[in-house]
Homo-oligomer: A and B are copies of this chain.
Amino acid sequence: MADARTFSLREIAAHLGGEVIGEAAAPITGVATLDSAGPTQIAFLANLRYRSQLDRTHAGAVILGPDERDATALPRIVTDNPYAYYARTVALFNPPPAVKAGRHPTAQIDPEAIVASTAEIGPFAVIGHGARIGERTSIGAACVVGSNVRIGDDTRLYPRVTIYHDCTVGDRTILHSGVVIGADGFGMAPDQGRWVKIPQVGAVRLGDDVEVGANTTIDRGALDDTVIGDGCKLDNQIQVGHNCVIGDHTVIAGCVGIAGSVRIGKRCRIGGAAGISGHIEICDGVTVSAMTLVMKSIKKPGTYTSALPLMPHDEWLKWAVHVRKDAKGETP
């Protein structure tokens, strides 16, 4: 995507801080990687693995850390956290689309809903009875917001999000397409060979500064609420079961499945396609590796793993023989 804006290094630093070294006036038109940047783009060195690319980059300027301040002769911005600086520089060049206050004429907004005058309601959106939509919040096309849902300020629902009744969403939160918040948790009681549905009468509470990826689902609680803390970032296609409570600033990668009544601490990192069994607790500061199953509570911060290493299929067949022997009790 072409960046429409131009800033000099001096202007970037005026917005974002950092120390400018070298030519501060040259116009920069956007951000790119060291490998692909052209002479009017600014690149960044956030991972020393890529340091060798610094010598051969065609970038017009570079963002880097204090230890690399003299590693290049290019115009540069020195900052303690080049990766976060890169993030903010991209945002400077690519601000989110402005919210256009107003209601699309096709939107179906219940007369008892309270929609801020600065909010944007897209085509074919449905806003239920008693719902409240905050200031400068954008509800995308074909979203369905249930009755009594409360959505804060400066929040963005991309098209085709569903929020069931009574759920709440905080400020500055982003929900991507296909997200479903507040569908019924998976609760059934066995009775004479059949399953009796347990009505799910809790709700979902999403905090402030949360992001939820495309097609992720977060179920409403059975009796109490499912809670996602402030600053949590959830990737695509995640399933969060009923009554889960996820602590602030925890990040969860794509395809993770979290069963019901799980408590996850603050600042955890859950790897892609991991699974977490129901009714367990994970303390603050835990990292779970990709595709790892957590079956018991984790009480100590650290990294936990249960993934099997990859093998060529013929080696895997040999390994599987050992597994069967161990399982049959044929090995000591």
Find out whether the CB atom of B305 lies under 8 angstroms from the CB atom of A310.
yes
Find out whether the CB atom of A313 lies under 8 angstroms from the CB atom of B322.
no
B-chain residues with CB within 8 Å of residue A162 when the two chains form the complex: 158-160, 177-178, 214
B-chain residues with CB within 8 Å of residue A313 when the two chains form the complex: 289, 302-305
Q: In this complex, which of A174, A235, A302 has the most chain B Cβ atoms within 10 angstroms of its Cβ? A: A235
Find out whether the CB atom of A177 lies under 8 angstroms from the CB atom of B183.
yes
Count chain A residues whose beta carbon lies closer than 8 angstroms to a beta carbon of B: 120
Find out whether the CB atom of B255 lies under 8 angstroms from the CB atom of A272.
no
Find out whether the CB atom of A196 lies under 8 angstroms from the CB atom of B254.
no
Find out whether the CB atom of B215 lies under 8 angstroms from the CB atom of A178.
yes
Find out whether the CB atom of A233 lies under 8 angstroms from the CB atom of B195.
yes
Find out whether the CB atom of A84 lies under 8 angstroms from the CB atom of B183.
no
Let me know if A131 is at the binding interface, CB within 8 A.
no
Other-chain contact of A323, B180, B302, B304, B309 (Cβ < 8 Å): B309
Other-chain contact of A223, B33, B123, B178, B196 (Cβ < 8 Å): B33
- Nearest residue (CB) in B for A266 is B193
Looking at A7-15, A67-75, A111-119, A293-301, the stretch in contact with chain B turns out to be A293-301
User: Residues 62-97 of chain A: 1 if any B CB is under 8 Å from the residue's CB, otherwise 0?
Assistant: 000000000000000000010110111011011010
Query: Given A293-B308, A302-B312, A318-B328, list of 10 further CB < 8 A pairs?
Result: A83-B189, A159-B162, A184-B211, A186-B213, A186-B254, A214-B219, A215-B215, A215-B237, A219-B236, A235-B239
Interface residues of A (CB under 8 A from B): 1, 3, 31-33, 36, 46, 81, 83-84, 86-88, 90-91, 93-94, 96, 104, 106, 108, 122-124, 126, 140-142, 144, 158-160, 162, 164, 166, 174, 176-178, 180, 183-184, 186-191, 193-199, 201-203, 209, 211, 213-215, 217, 219, 223-224, 231, 233, 235-237, 239, 241, 249, 251, 253-255, 257, 259, 267, 272-273, 275, 277, 289-296, 298, 302-313, 315-316, 318-320, 322-324, 326-329, 331
